[in-house]
Structure 1
Amino acid sequence: MRTAMGVWRWRRNPLRRPTDLFEAWVAFAALVCVLLVAPAIGCVAGRQVDVTLQRAVREQRQERHLVPAVVVRPAQEPPAGASAEPSAQRQAPQRTQIVATWTGPDGSSHQGTVPAAEEPPRTGDRFRIWTDTRGCLVGQPLDPAAASIHAAMVGLAAALGAAALAETVRRMVVRRLMHWRYIRLDRAWAAAGPDWGRAGAGS
């Protein structure tokens, strides 16, 4: 990004080529994008995602409820052939599955298999589970702080992506300018080369 200083350096330089000034302005524009535009894009993206996630948090907290459940018995163990690989079990240990009963917020009775809240589970133990308004099992609602963290990560990713795009475009333009300069230099040398050093050739 040091080339951005060339906007001032090439201002009145007699050796300045049109491509030099253009390259300096491209670098200056890329610097502005990295320092101003990219952070602005990140802020807007993060704010939009945060608004959406916080709305989802409020909706989930209205639609999901903690209800008491009672342990009936341990769930039937899966067949030996259906068990996961030992390495997968070590990486993601599973809690004991139990059969429990609960009453939904609408008063309906339910029974199903859920992970045990404590180990080892005992018949008659009481614990709480998340259900919707009809008593069906659902996941825990998203935490507002976690939603804000996710939104901040999205904003940061958007800012970094915009900055990377600006720098990539700058590099592509500079590469194209260098290619064009070499072409012009080759043409000039092809025109002046045969007469280089000849007496009376104006060299």
Structure 2
Amino acid sequence: MSRNRLGRKRLWRMRSNPLRRHDDIVEAWIVLVVWAVIAVGGALAGLVTFHAAHEVFAAQRTQRHSVQGALLTDTPPASSTPGGARDLIKGKVRWATADGTSHTGSALVDTGQKAGSEVVVWVDSAGNFTIEPPSSKEATLESAVLGLTAALAFAGVAFGAGAVARYRLDRRRIDSWGTEWNLVGPSWGRKTN
């Protein structure tokens, strides 16, 4: 096949065609725009979400710090779990802030500890109990997952909007075909009764 003929075959939709309707051209543009929006918008949504989540996790790492606390109650012994998973249970803990104020609250602690055992508690800059912030690697992974989720959600919304627009075009074409058939159909010969 010659190069010129191959080029004409690939661009057949661009040529003038007596069967091509205005709705067909509109549909082709809708498909093109939807894919462009998915590619560009999805990438932007993913990147913006990744950077925003990464900044939040970085702020958490700077605002939170660990302090030593004392366990106030005994915790039950560890149950045997396959794979050597770490058993955690809520326990009542007392800790002191940098200014010496004593606080009491529930924290996740290892099982099998006696009252008075030292435990690590995470607090924010105000001295209130909080959870451990994600490490740098965990934050990067979680930010990437959130970014990918945002990109996929954006792509899904764009694809859905394009599908709705194409559905409406299909309904319009079907109605148009029905109207044309009502005009042309009776002139196609005799009808059976």
Shared fold (TM-score greater than 0.5)?
Answer: yes
Where does 1:1-203 land on structure 2 (aligned, <5 Å)? Answer: 8-9=12-13, 11-14=15-18, 16=19, 20-74=20-74, 95-115=88-108, 117-142=109-134, 143-189=139-185, 192=187
Residues 10, 97 of structure 1: CA spacing in aligned structure 2 closer, same or farther, 3 A cutoff? closer
Give the conservation status (yes or no) of the 8 Å contact 1:6–1:24. Answer: no
Shift of 1:185: 2.2
Aligned identity (percent) is: 20
2:14 and 2:151 mapped to 1: Cα distance?
37
Measured after TM superposition, the shift of residue 155 of structure 1 is 0.9
Native 8 Å contact 1:106 1:134 kept in 2? no
Instruction: State whether residues 74 and 113 of structure 2, in contact with CA within 8 Å, keep that contact through their aligned partners in structure 1.
Output: yes
Q: Output the CA distance in 1 between the equivalents of 2:13 and 2:155.
A: 30
Between 64-73 and 94-103, the greater mean CA deviation after superposition: 94-103
Q: Report the Cα distance in structure 1 between the residues aligned to 2:177 and 2:112, rounded to whole angstroms.
A: 76
Deviation at 1:60, TM superposition (A): 1.6
Q: Which moved more, 1:105-114 or 1:40-49?
A: 105-114
How high is the TM-score relative to the length of structure 2? 0.72
Q: Secondary structure at the match of 2:133?
A: coil
Question: Partners of 1:124 and 1:13 in 2: how far apart?
Answer: 86
Following TM superposition, by how much is the alpha carbon of 1:148 offset from its aligned partner in structure 2, in angstroms?
Answer: 2.2
The amino acid that maps onto 1:163 is: F
Cα distance in 1 for partners of 2:13, 2:54 equals 50
> Which string of whole-angstrom CA distances, capped at 9 and with x for unpartnered residues, describes residues 85-109 of structure 1?
xxxxxxxxx9543222212244422
What per-residue deviation string (whole Å, max 9, x for no partner) do you get for residues 36-65 of structure 1?
Answer: 221211111112222221221122222211
Judge conservation of contact 1:103–1:109 (CA < 8 Å) in 2.
Answer: yes
CA deviation after TM superposition for structure 1 residue 6, in Å: 10
What is the CA distance between 1:125 and its match in structure 2?
A: 1.9
Residue number in structure 2 paired with 1:83: none
Q: Would the aligned equivalents of 2:27 and 2:169 in 1 still touch at CA under 8 Å?
A: no
Counterpart of 1:73 in 2: which secondary structure?
coil
Structure 1 stretches lacking a partner, 5+ long: 76-93, 198-203
Structure 1 residues 10, 62: closer, same or farther in 2, change over 3 A? closer
Instruction: Say how many residue pairs are matched.
Output: 167
Q: Check whether the contact 2:69–2:95 (CA below 8 A) recurs between aligned residues.
A: yes
Q: TM-score normalised to the size of structure 1? A: 0.69
Query: Structure 2 regions of 5+ residues with no counterpart?
Result: 1-8, 76-86
